[in-house]
């Protein structure tokens, strides 16, 4: 090996790589890529930042900084802080928002029913709960327990009139009942619509299309004015029960369509395989078809639940005192006259929390159930 | 060994109606038919007994009696001496008015929000998610009532109001005033010219398309269409000495006169319906665009199509197939939700036929039946159109 003296310097080891140009990595590049990649994009960014800068400080100021939390009237609120939110109206009327005119000394009963609802839901929503079987038994008898607690049974618990129910208590009653009964009815309707018995199919199609074709309000009108005509003379049954029936029927028609979508998405081979195994119709539905179809339709089912929960507010139109119905007398009350946004914002926030939680739970469920499909 | 073959000549037994699958389906259906008929007979019997007990009958003659109530928002001539059916028609037109206005605005909001939601721009896509999540998770009725209350509480009285946009638009707590078009004597010629030029644009586009199919030559469609759209109408308008003018609202006494008066109830209902439905449409648009695989864009680029042609000829036709069916069912939802008008006192068909007429005449059954029949007709018509559309865009598999 001869040494070439004309080469002054020989690199023995590879040099360290230079860092990437500052404009292609890190926060700066991210900003360039995502916020200022084109003229239109830059304009959008600047506009939305300006919008946020204009909105957020004022909103925070009004909602929290200048807000009044406790006062006895709107005048007191305005004296304490003229430009802030007057949340005092919510704190002053909080009980009404929660329970309506439910007798004050009996309010532990709905609270207990609500806590027990949590216990009853536990085995349904969470599969790792200890003693799931026993809890399921409790879930099955929960409706009776809740009914006895809320309305009273006349022996142990004092009776409470339906006209005293109101606020979020009413929302929860309608929402939970509608949700738990509309799913099974919806499944039956969907199966009926897919059935190969023409007459059964006809009944189901007529029912579903009729209910889906009319607004919920007209069905509530039926509940409040017409249902009495359909029953034997002299029957006078509870307005909340009538509304519950209508809301459940309404939701189950929508549920049926969602589940029908799930049934249609299954390949025909699944039905044929079930038949080939010699399963009866109900066995094949229960063991093979429905578990798969329901899994596919989870997003739609939860969307229907959310829609039902929001639609419970419509009962205020026929004079029930759900949270929106409670607001009307407060608006007319001279002590609080002039407060609008605070009342609606509070009710809206509660609905948002519930509905948003439901939609997130459905995403969790979707991920959990599709885990088996990955391999 | 011989195989004994014999076909069983089983005699029909009554039990086979249930155990034999050949007869079972018929049995089930006949039982169901009986139950439905019994239920129907029971309900009808109850209705007849109840009506008799109340001394009522079932007929629609009340529709031809005078209504004796006023409707402040109306598209056709109506006064308190008009019959109930006229009131119902006024209500139906009001429902259709807010439904059509709502569908247009909701589509605009939804498409913009849906596209921006997919934007690579972090700030704007987050902003749109917040809009969509907040609006979708709050009851519509609450949004309508809130907007209505804000209009009444926050907007100034007519005396204190400040006209905006050169006196064209006024927002007051009694409603919004916008200019109206006043047709002069020869105004109809301008309108006719405008309609004729619209027809001409349609004809021209067809001709240009056909020419391209046959000869491959491309006509500058957009520029020529724009010219046809603007030039003839403008020329005729000025040649006739501006026969169409704008009537702007003027403050007279305590109120504004002239122009078109949009009541707060209409505007609140319209905006709330559009914002609410717009959030749902945004999600539909987003999923429609995401449903088209990236390979489609890349294939179009590889064929040498420019981005706007790629969008028009490749992406949109496929995305629309995914978008349009749920979009139409959102329109249907909007129409049904417009019945919430009753909460803010906008006189739609639920407010007239299902509200005041029902309460005044006490004919609950007739009114609710008519009301349901109206909504059912609208729904079934729209679903029929949708089914037709679905059949026409279905993937044609060969």
* Structure ipTM: 0.88
- What average pLDDT score do residues B364-373 get? 91
Kindly tell me if the per-residue pLDDT of A235 is higher than 80. Answer: no
pLDDT at site A375 = 43
Q: List CB contacts of B77: < 8 A, sequence separation 6 or more.
A: none
B87/B79 Cα distance (integer angstroms): 9
Closest CA in chain B for residue A195: B25
Residues of B in contact with A230 (CB under 8 A): 43, 46-47
Percent of chain B predicted with pLDDT > 70: 95
- Count other C-beta atoms under 10 Å from residue B293's C-beta: 10
- Count other C-beta atoms under 10 Å from residue B94's C-beta: 25
B126's tokens: 């987050």
Q: For B114, how many CA atoms within 13 A lie in the half-sphere containing its CB?
A: 23
- What average pLDDT score do residues B252-260 get? 73
Distances from the Cα of A229 to the Cα of A132, A163, B45, B60, B62, angstroms: 45, 21, 10, 18, 20
Contacts with A, B 286-325, CB within 8 Å: none
Most confident of A333-337, B36-40, B157-161: B36-40
Residues of A in contact with B139 (CB under 8 A): 310-311, 313, 324, 348, 351
Residues of A in contact with B145 (CB under 8 A): 324, 327, 344
A193-204 pLDDT, tens digit per residue, is: 998 889 999 999
Which member of A212, A327, A356 has the closest CB to residue B133?
Answer: A356
How many contacts (CB atoms, under 8 Å) link A and B?
158
Residues of A in contact with B127 (CB under 8 A): 48, 51-52
Average pLDDT in chain A = 87
- What average pLDDT score do residues A352-361 get? 93
Interface mutation target, options A53, A212, A214, A359, chain B, most CBs of B under 10 Å? A214
Contacts with A, B 35-94, CB within 8 Å: 36, 43, 46-47, 49-51, 53
Query: Global pTM?
Result: 0.87
Long-range contact list for A207-213, CB < 8 A, 24+ apart?
A207/A253, A208/A253, A208/A256, A208/A257, A209/B379, A209/B380, A210/A253, A210/B376, A211/A249, A211/A250, A211/A253, A211/A254, A212/A253, A212/A254, A212/A257, A212/B379, A213/B372, A213/B375, A213/B376, A213/B379, A213/B380
| CB distance A251 to A184 below 8 Å | no
B119/B128 Cα distance (integer angstroms): 10
B336/B349 Cα distance (integer angstroms): 11
**A315 φ/ψ angles, rounded to the nearest 5 degrees:** -65, -15
Kindly tell me if the per-residue pLDDT of A5 is higher than 80. Answer: no
B349/B97 Cα distance (integer angstroms): 11
Confidence of residue A357 (pLDDT cuts 50, 70, 90): very high
Average pLDDT in chain B = 86
Interface mutation target, options B123, B143, B273, B387, chain A, most CBs of A under 10 Å? B123
Q: Domains plus CATH for chain A?
A: 23-65 (no CATH), 163-373 (1.10.3720.10)
B280's tokens: 């749902």
> Which of A305-314, B3-12, B44-53 shows the lowest mean pLDDT across its residues?
B3-12
Distance from CA of A35 to the nearest CA of B (A): 5
- What average pLDDT score do residues B318-334 get? 89
Kindly tell me if the per-residue pLDDT of A162 is higher than 80. Answer: yes
Confidence of residue A189 (pLDDT cuts 50, 70, 90): very high
Kindly tell me if the per-residue pLDDT of B158 is higher than 80. Answer: no
Confidence of residue B385 (pLDDT cuts 50, 70, 90): confident
**Displacement of CA B170 from its chain's centroid (Å):** 27
A271-329 pLDDT, tens digit per residue, is: 999 999 999 889 999 999 999 999 889 888 999 999 999 999 999 998 889 999 998 88
- What average pLDDT score do residues B132-155 get? 91
Kindly tell me if the per-residue pLDDT of B164 is higher than 80. Answer: no
- What average pLDDT score do residues A15-40 get? 79
- What average pLDDT score do residues B332-357 get? 91
pLDDT at site A249 = 95
End-to-end Cα spacing for chain A: 59
Confidence of residue B5 (pLDDT cuts 50, 70, 90): low
Angle at B32 between CA B26 and CA B35, to 5 degrees: 145
Contacts with A, B 85-144, CB within 8 Å: 116, 119-124, 127, 133-134, 136-143
| CB distance B153 to B297 below 8 Å | no
pLDDT at site A246 = 93
pLDDT at site A133 = 83
Distance from CA of A154 to the nearest CA of B (A): 30
Percent of chain A predicted with pLDDT > 70: 97
A44-87 pLDDT, tens digit per residue, is: 889 989 999 999 998 999 888 888 888 888 888 888 888 888 89
């Amino acid at each position: 090996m001869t040494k070439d003296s004309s080469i002054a310097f020989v690199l023995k080891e590879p040099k360290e790589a230079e860092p990437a140009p500052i404009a292609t990595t890190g926060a700066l590049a991210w900003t360039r890529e995502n916020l200022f990649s084109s003229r239109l994009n830059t304009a959008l960014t600047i506009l939305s930042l300006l919008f946020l800068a204009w909105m957020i400080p004022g909103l925070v100021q009004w909602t929290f900084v200048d807000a009044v939390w406790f006062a006895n009237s709107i005048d007191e609120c305005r004296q304490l802080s003229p430009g802030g939110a007057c949340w005092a109206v919510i704190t002053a009327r909080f009980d009404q928002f929660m329970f309506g005119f439910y007798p004050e000394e009996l309010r532990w009963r709905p609270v207990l029913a609500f806590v027990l609802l949590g216990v009853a839901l536990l085995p349904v929503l969470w599969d790792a709960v200890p003693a799931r079987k026993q809890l399921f038994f409790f879930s099955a008898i929960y409706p009776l327990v809740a009914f006895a607690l809320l309305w009273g049974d006349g022996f142990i618990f004092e009776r409470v009139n339906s006209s005293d129910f109101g606020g979020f208590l009413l929302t929860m009653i309608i929402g939970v009942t509608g949700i738990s009964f509309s799913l099974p009815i919806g499944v039956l309707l969907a199966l009926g619509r897919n059935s190969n018995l023409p007459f059964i199919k006809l009944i189901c199609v007529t029912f579903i299309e009729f209910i889906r074709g009319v607004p919920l309000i007209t069905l509530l009108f039926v509940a409040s004015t017409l249902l009495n005509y359909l029953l034997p003379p002299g029957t006078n049954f509870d307005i909340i029960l009538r509304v519950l029936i209508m809301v459940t029927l309404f939701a189950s028609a929508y549920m049926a369509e969602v589940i029908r979508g799930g049934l249609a998405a299954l390949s025909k081979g699944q039905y044929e395989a079930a038949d080939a195994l010699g399963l009866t119709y109900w066995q094949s539905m229960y063991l093979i078809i429905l578990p798969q179809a329901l899994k596919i339709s989870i997003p739609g089912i939860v969307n229907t639940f959310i829609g039902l929960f929001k639609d419970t507010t419509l009962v205020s139109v026929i004079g029930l005192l759900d949270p929106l119905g409670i607001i009307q007398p407060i608006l007319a009350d001279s002590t609080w006259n002039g407060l609008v946004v605070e009342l609606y914002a509070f009710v809206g926030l509660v609905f948002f929390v519930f509905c948003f939680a439901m939609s997130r739970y459905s995403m969790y469920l979707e991920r959990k159930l599709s885990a088996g499909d990955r391999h | 060994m011989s195989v004994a073959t014999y076909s069983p000549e089983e005699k029909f037994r009554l039990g086979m109606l249930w155990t034999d699958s050949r007869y079972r389906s018929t049995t089930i259906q006949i039982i169901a038919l009986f139950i439905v008929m019994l239920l129907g007979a029971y309900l009808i019997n109850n209705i007849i007994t109840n009506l008799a007990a109340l001394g009522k009958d079932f007929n629609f003659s009340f529709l031809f009696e005078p209504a004796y109530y006023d409707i402040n928002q109306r598209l056709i001539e109506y006064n308190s001496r008009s019959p109930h059916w006229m009131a119902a028609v006024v209500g139906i037109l009001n429902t259709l008015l807010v439904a059509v206005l709502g569908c247009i605005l909701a589509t605009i909001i939804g498409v913009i929000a849906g596209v921006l939601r997919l934007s690579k721009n972090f700030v704007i896509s987050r902003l749109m998610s917040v809009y969509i999540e907040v609006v979708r998770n709050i009851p519509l009725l609450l949004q309508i009532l809130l907007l209505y209350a804000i209009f009444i509480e926050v907007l100034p009285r007519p005396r204190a109001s400040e006209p905006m946009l050169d006196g064209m638009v006024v927002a007051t707590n009694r409603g919004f005033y916008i200019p109206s078009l006043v047709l002069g004597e020869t105004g109809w010629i301008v309108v006719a010219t405008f309609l004729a030029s619209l027809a001409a644009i349609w004809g021209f586009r067809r001709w240009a398309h056909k020419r391209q199919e046959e000869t491959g030559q491309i006509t500058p469609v957009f520029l020529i269409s724009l010219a046809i759209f603007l030039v003839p109408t403008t020329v005729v308008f000025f040649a006739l000495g501006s026969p169409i003018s704008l009537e702007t609202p003027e403050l007279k006494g305590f109120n504004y006169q002239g122009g078109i008066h949009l009541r707060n109830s209409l505007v609140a209902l319209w905006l709330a319906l559009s914002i609410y439905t717009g959030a749902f449409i945004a999600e539909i648009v987003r999923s429609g665009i995401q449903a088209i695989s990236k390979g489609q864009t890349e294939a179009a680029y590889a064929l040498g199509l420019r981005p706007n042609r790629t969008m028009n000829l490749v992406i949109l036709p496929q995305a629309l197939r995914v978008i349009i069916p749920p979009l139409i069912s959102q329109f249907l939802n909007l129409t049904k939700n417009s019945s919430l008008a009753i909460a803010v006192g906008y006189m739609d068909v639920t407010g007239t036929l299902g509200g005041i007429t029902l309460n005044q005449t006490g004919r609950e059954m007739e009114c609710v039946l008519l009301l349901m029949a109206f909504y059912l007709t609208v729904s079934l018509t729209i679903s029929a159109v949708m089914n037709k559309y679905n059949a026409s865009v279905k993937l044609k598999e060969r």
